[in-house]
Structure 1
Amino acid sequence: MPHRDLLETMLKRQEVLADFADLALQSEDLDEVLQEACRLVAKAMGTERAKVLEMEAGDESLLVRAGVGWAAGVVGHVRLPMDEHSSEAFAINAGEPVITPDIAHEERFDVPRFMKDASIVALVNVPIFLPRQRPMGSCRWTTPGRGISTSTTVRSCAPMPASWGPSLIDCSSLGT
């Protein structure tokens, strides 16, 4: 990617992050904030699908709390196990983004059936931490029909979901 294009891409992603921060500070509705976060991540990454998975009580499962581009019945309904075979647990335990350029060749963890059914080829999981490194869940974006070519692109967007934790605490403390 030429230097000028890379700079424009980075500036666009900074705008997306600023837009999200504005919404998070103004909204009292956590669901609205999470939904918009998914839309903005998908936009910044140039993909059709993104979702936020929230750890449920007991840290044994994750709920697909918000998302864009998913079939009916996924967002707000699908629960994934939080075990050693999940990519979310893998990302949270690693404490950094986990990139899967091609799920057909992934051996570190299992990919959920609903993602395979959606023809997902590649995915990125970015853990979302609250203050004091308490995990809240993860943000995942996916690409159907093409892989993720470089970790540079992914790592440049990793601060987006990683920075949501404090905003989510502010929003959720409003009783929504």
Structure 2
Amino acid sequence: MFAATVQYGDPEQKTDPYIDVLVNDRSAKMLLDTGSNAHVLWDTRLLDSASLPTGESLQTLDAIASATKASNVMLSLTDGANRQHLQRFYVIDETPLMALGYSGIVSPQFLAQEKVSLIDFKDDCFFVSERFDPGGAGRYRLDVLGEIPNPHRVMAIPLGVRGDGFP
């Protein structure tokens, strides 16, 4: 289980969602990146001397628009309820986002692994839990009929059924 309050770089527009966590027991402001399949850290002040990257441990981290050299390290990630999770991070060079106070990005999907990650932008919360049956407590019958067309590659879309909404 993991839980955190979602905050925003621009609260009026609700853009740049981030969570406050502890990385290696140090405060960090981490962007939530639903398009990422890995955690990335560029604020090396959060690392202890044992986890500092070395030249021989570098590998290439490929992203949608670029690629960079990165080290792979295991770090402690602690949520708002003081639950600690050992997580793999890519450590890269400092980015311009550090000047805005961000230390890195957290991938909700990677954090969840085989569990479920949910981000509720209406109530500003993010959590990871065990899988659950979204059957609506018997109010609905769920059948697999096919796929919802997704030409714009949106990660999630809201769905309304009989006046109820699903994220």
Smaller-chain TM-score bracket: under 0.3
Q: Which has the higher strand share?
A: 2
TM-score of the superposed pair, with normalisation by structure 2: 0.26
Q: Which has the higher helix share?
A: 1
